[in-house]
Amino acid sequence: MAAVSAGMVKELRDRTGLGMMDCKKALVEADGAMDKAIETLRKSSGLKAAKKASRTANDGLVGIRISDDSQVGVLVEVNCETDFAAKDENFRDFVTHARDLVFDSRESDIAKLLADGLEVEREALVQKIGENVSVRRAEVIEVTEGSLCSYVHTNGKIGVLLAMTGGSEDLGRDLAMHIAATDPLVVAATDAPADLVAKEREIYTAQAEDSGKPAEIVEKMIDGRIRKFLAEISLLEQPFVKDDKVKVAKLLDKEGAAVTRFARYLVGDGIEKEEEDFAAEVQNQLKDS
């Protein structure tokens, strides 16, 4: 009998969308033959889930939970295919369950959570609601100083978890809403990954060299664009959405506060789909508050 490797199980799971145990069993029965294992699964009751797994799940909800002492927080994203399914009580219960599993275990590795039993529940939900469901990602933030704040937009499709020292609860919520609206990548410019900055510099260099200007001018143009890019992606350098005359860094200094970390999830972010501008919606809400 041919050995069934973890890589074979993963490949079959990726190709069918079915559970790991079902895929392993099918491969064992098929003596490691991938096509035969797929045929076996097609004949099984898992066929319905397999067909749905081939469809893109780019809608859904985010879930956030913070401990009573505000020292531990989790953020999860669970996807389905349509907003209609995202409003289904069974789907919402599953999001809450997945969020609580992450919180209780402090585990953000989705593969481990699925292997520990969440996959069985996911497959059952697929059968129940008639849409593909995917537990896409999770973040766990723990702090020993300061506290955690959060914001979930009214539609449940954008959420922010923020770690902050000093300041007030209201400030924390305002900053979380700011992050939801403006989508910074890092807290400070110095936190920007070197490879990201290098990639942007490469792009700006190509653009500037096409200008035909002298080398020293080109270098200044590149440096200026890099500074602008870093200011746009850095939370501290952004104008505060409730008062664009004040930068976030100045606001924090005035309040005696500091942001140490944040995580922002937008449902379906990075998955090809027809986008709705939830960030603009949050920004308008902030300005009206």
The percent of residues in the chain predicted with pLDDT above 90, rounded, is 60
Q: What is the dihedral of CA 210, 215, 216, 219, to 10 degrees?
A: 50
String of DSSP letters for 138-182: EEEEE-SSSEEEEEE-TTSSEEEEEEEESS-HHHHHHHHHHHHHH
Report yes or no on 22 lying in a domain: yes
- The whole-number pLDDT of residue 289 equals 61
Helix, strand, coil percentages in the chain from 3-state DSSP, rounded to 5: 55, 20, 25
- What local confidence, expressed as pLDDT, does residue 277 receive? 60
Return the higher-pLDDT residue of 39 and 142: 142
Number of domains in the chain: 4
Does 276 lie in the same domain as 207? Answer: no
In the listed set 121, 142, 163, which residue is the last one of a domain according to the structure? 142
Residue 81 lies in a domain: yes
Least confident of 48-62, 137-151, 160-174: 48-62
Clarify whether residues 67 and 128 are in a common domain. Answer: yes
What is the rounded average pLDDT for all residues in the chain? 88
Dump pLDDT digits (tens) for 95-106: 999 999 999 999
Do 72 and 128 lie in one domain? The reply is yes
Summarize pLDDT for 59-71 with one digit per residue, the tens: 999 999 999 999 9
Per-residue pLDDT for 246 more than 50? yes
**Domain region containing 101:** 56-142
Least confident of 145-149, 163-167, 266-270: 266-270
More confident residue, 2 or 52: 2
pLDDT at 276 over 60: no
Q: Give per-residue pLDDT as tens, 207-226.
A: 777 777 787 888 888 889 99
Residues 170 and 288 in one domain: yes
222 & 123 share domain: no
Is residue 1 a part of any domain in this protein?
no
- Choose among 137, 176, 155, 190: nearest CA to 289: 176
Cβ 287 vs Cβ 181: under 8 Å: no
Residue 201 has a pLDDT of 87
Are residues 186 and 198 located together in one domain of the fold? Answer: no
Question: CA 111 to CA 133: how far, in whole Å?
Answer: 14
Q: What is the pLDDT of residues 133-145, one digit of tens each?
A: 999 999 999 999 9
Residues 47 and 80 in one domain: no
Question: Same domain for 176 and 113?
Answer: no
- Is 177 found in the same domain as 150? yes
